[in-house]
Amino acid sequence: MTCRVAVVGAGATGLAAAYDLTQSGAEVHVYEAGAEIGGLAAGFKDEQWDWTLEKFYHHWFATDDAVLNLIGELGVRDKVLFPRPITSLWLKGKIYQMDRPNLVIANLRLPISWPAKIRYGFAALYLRLFDNWKPLERVTADAWLRWYMGNEAHETLWRSLLIGKFGDDYDKVNMAWMWARIHKRTTKLGTFEGGFQAFLGLLADRVRARGAKIYLNTPVKRIQPQPGGGFTVTAGEYGGKFDAVISTSSPRIMQRLVPDLPAEYTGQLAQLKSLGSVVVILALKHQLLTDGTYWLSLPASQPDRSRAEFPFLALVEHTNYMDRAHYGGDHLVYCGDYVPPDHEYFTLSDDELAERFISALPKFNPDFSSGWIRKQWIFRAPYAQPVPFVNHSEKLPDLRTPLNGLYLASMSQVYPWDRGTTYAVEMGRQVAQMALEDRKNGSIVS
C-alpha cells in the first residue's frame, strides 16, 4: 500500500523531504501556513526587478554540499553563482576588509598588537583544521576565545560580535557553534540565478510533478495520533489521515500542534531557546558602502541596542554582491538584527523600526540622506536563530519523536551547524530516509 505522509512546512527542509519521499512512491501532502513556499529563505520581487530578493539575507558557502548536490540532481548546477564579495568588520570607526587580498594579510592589518595577531592567527588556523567539535561544546565560546586568542584579540574582535549576535546570552553560547562558523566559511559566497526563491520554486515544481500536493495559506492546527496507528492532521478542508507526519515547525509550535507528545520530549522542546530576526530592506538611489563591502559585521559593546553604537548587528549591501541590473538599478541594503521574540523590535511599527535603523546609516556614508530611499520593506520572524548552550547535543530532541511515525526536523536540530538552507536540505532528506526505513521495518503501519 502507498504510504501517506504529511509534511508541515514548505521551506527547504519540508520540500527536500517531500522530494525524496515522492521519489520513493509515497503520497505526500505539504502544508504551508504562509502565502508562498520557502520559509525563512523565501524571497519577494518588486515590480521593476527581474530577480527576487530574499526577505532575510542568505548566501551559500562553497562547502555547502547538501544543497549544491540537490541542485545538481535537479540538473541546474549551472545556475549557481559563486562570486567572491568583500566581507568586512567595523572596528574603531573604520571598515576593515576581512578577506582582501587574502585572509592572512587582511588579519595582519587589524588594529591589535603583533603578539595578539600571531596568537589570534594560530587559534583561528587550529579551528579551521580541527574536525572534532564535540569537546568544544563543553566550554563557552567567550571563555575559549579569551583563553586561546588572548584578552586583546577577544576584547577587540570577538566579544562584541558575540554580544551583537546573542545579546544577554553571549557568554553562555558554546564553542562548538563558533567552531562550525569558522570551520565551514569560504571566501566565495553562492546564490542561485534569480534568487533563492527561484531555486525553491523549481524544487517545489519537481515535487508537484511527482504527485505531491502543496497547500499554501493552510496552517496545520493539530496533529493527533490514532489508536490503531497513524495520525489525523487538522488543516481546514485539506486535512486528513496519514501514516506518518514530518513537522518542520519550531519546537514551540510543535508543542502546540501535538499536545499528546510525552512530557519528557515536550520538556526537551521547551528547553530550546532561540532568537527572532528583524530586517529593514532599503532600495537606495546611490551606493551606501562605497568600498564595495557586501557584508559588514557591526560590534556591540552591550546587549541593550538602545545604548549600543548601532541598533542592528549586520549591514548587508546586496548589490555589492549581485549586479544591481537584476533589481532595476536599485542599490539594495539590509539592516538586520537577531533579538528575543519579546523584544521591542517586534512591537514597533514598521515606520518606527525603519526610522531607528536608518538613523545609523550616515555613520557609514556621511552623504546618505533619507532622499536616497526609493522604497523600504520590513520583515520579522520570531524563530530564526537557535541559541546553543554548553553540552547542547545532550539536550536536543531526537528527529524521531516518541510517537511512531511522527518526526520533528527543526532548525534547532542542525547543531553544531548554524541555521542555513544546506543544513535544512540535509536534515529534510535525512528525516525522509528515516520515515522510509521505519515504513520498511514495520514501525509505520498503514
Same domain, 111 and 248: no
Average pLDDT, the chain: 94
Asked which of 149, 183, 217 is the last residue of a domain, the reply is: 183
As a whole-number percent, the residues of the chain with pLDDT over 90 amount to: 86
**pLDDT at residue 31 greater than cutoff 90:** yes
Q: Indicate if 170 and 208 belong to the same structural domain.
A: no
Number of domains in the chain: 2
What's the average model confidence in pLDDT over 313-336?
97
- In the beta sheet, which residues pair with residue 406? 245
Evaluate if residue 91 carries a pLDDT over 60: yes
Q: Are residues 268 and 397 in the same domain?
A: yes
In a domain, 22, yes or no: yes
Burial of 2 (0-12, 13-18, 19+ CB in 10 A): exposed
DSSP state, residue 337: E
Write down the pLDDT at residue 307.
84
Answer whether residue 22 shows pLDDT above 90.
yes
Contacts of 122 (CB under 8 A, 6+ apart): none
18, 163: one domain: no
Domain-embedded: residue 306: no
Contacts of 291 (CB under 8 A, 6+ apart): 86, 88, 95, 97
Q: Does 55 share its domain with 204?
A: yes
Identify the sign of the CA torsion 407, 255, 385, 387.
negative
338-362: pLDDT as tens digits: 999 999 999 999 999 999 999 999 9
- Supply the CATH number for residue 252's domain: 3.50.50.60
* Average confidence (pLDDT) over 96-104: 82
Question: Residues 197-225, buried b or exposed e (16+ Cβ, 10 A)?
Answer: bbbbbbbbebbeebebebbeebbbeebbb
Angle between helix 65-73 and 12-23 (nearest 10): 50
Q: Are 399 and 434 in contact (CB under 8 A)?
A: yes
Q: Residues 379-404: what's their mean pLDDT? A: 95
pLDDT in the model for residue 184: 86
One domain, residues 237 and 203 = yes
If asked whether residues 166 and 111 sit together in one domain, one would say yes
Q: What 3-state class would DSSP assign to 323? A: coil
Of the candidates 420, 412, 417, the one whose C-alpha atom is nearest the C-alpha of residue 395 is 412
- pLDDT, tens digit, for every residue of 289-299? 999 999 999 98
Residue 287: inside a domain: no
Can you give the pLDDT at residue 327? 98
C-alpha to C-alpha distance for 308 and 299, rounded to whole angstroms: 9
Which of 183, 214, 245 finishes a domain? 183
For residues 103-119, give the mean pLDDT: 86
For residue 262, give the C-alpha cell: 510525552
* 203 and 143 in a common domain: no
DSSP, res 38: B
pLDDT (tens digit per residue) in 413-445: 999 998 899 999 999 999 999 999 999 888 776
Cα–Cα distance list, 253 to 102, 209, 240, 266 (Å): 44, 30, 20, 11
For residues 126 and 135, the answer to whether their CB atoms sit within 8 Å is no
Tell me if 303 is assigned to some domain: no
pLDDT value, residue 300: 87
Return the bridge partners of 407, or none: 246, 400
Q: pLDDT by residue (tens digit) across 186-209?
A: 999 999 999 999 999 999 999 999
Least confident of 33-37, 78-82, 160-164: 160-164
Question: What pLDDT is stored for residue 103 in this prediction?
Answer: 76
Model confidence at 102, pLDDT cuts 50, 70, 90, reads confident
Of 217, 298, 192, 185, the C-alpha closest to 37 is 217
Q: How many residues does the chain have?
A: 446
Is 324 part of a structural domain of the chain? no
Q: For 196-254, how does the pLDDT look when each residue is reduced to its tens digit (9 = 90+)?
A: 999 999 999 999 999 999 999 999 999 999 998 999 999 989 999 999 999 999 999 99
Would you state the pLDDT for residue 444? Answer: 75
pLDDT tier for residue 446 given thresholds of 50, 70 and 90: low
Q: Is 195 exposed, middle or buried (0-12, 13-18, 19+ CB in 10 A)?
A: buried
Which pLDDT does position 418 carry in this prediction?
A: 87
**Within a domain: 232:** yes
Residue 50 covered by a domain: yes
pTM: 0.94
Domain's final residue, options 117, 151, 183:
183
Per-residue DSSP letter, 423: H
Angle at the Cα of 180 from the Cα atoms of 126 and 72, rounded to 5 degrees: 115
Is residue 14 pLDDT above 80, yes or no?
A: yes
Q: What is the pLDDT of residue 1?
A: 53
Write out the three cell numbers for 197: 526563491
The amino acid sitting at 40 is L
Residue 177's domain comprises: 106-183
Strands 273-284 and 373-387: antiparallel
Domain match, 155 and 199 both? no
| pLDDT on residue 443 | 79
The SS3 call for residue 397 is coil
Residues 261 and 120 in one domain: no
Nearest Cα to Cα of residue 339 among 162, 167, 173, 158: 167
Question: Which string of b and e fits 129-138 if b means at least 16 CB within 10 Å?
Answer: eeeebeebbe
Quick: pLDDT tens for 50-82.
999 999 999 999 999 999 999 999 999 999 999
Instruction: Give the three-class secondary structure for 334.
Output: strand
Give the DSSP letter of residue 2.
P
Same domain, 144 and 172: yes
Q: For residue 242, tell me if it sits in a domain.
A: yes
Query: What pLDDT, on the 0 to 100 scale, is given for residue 436?
Result: 94
Same domain? For 236 and 213 the reply is: yes
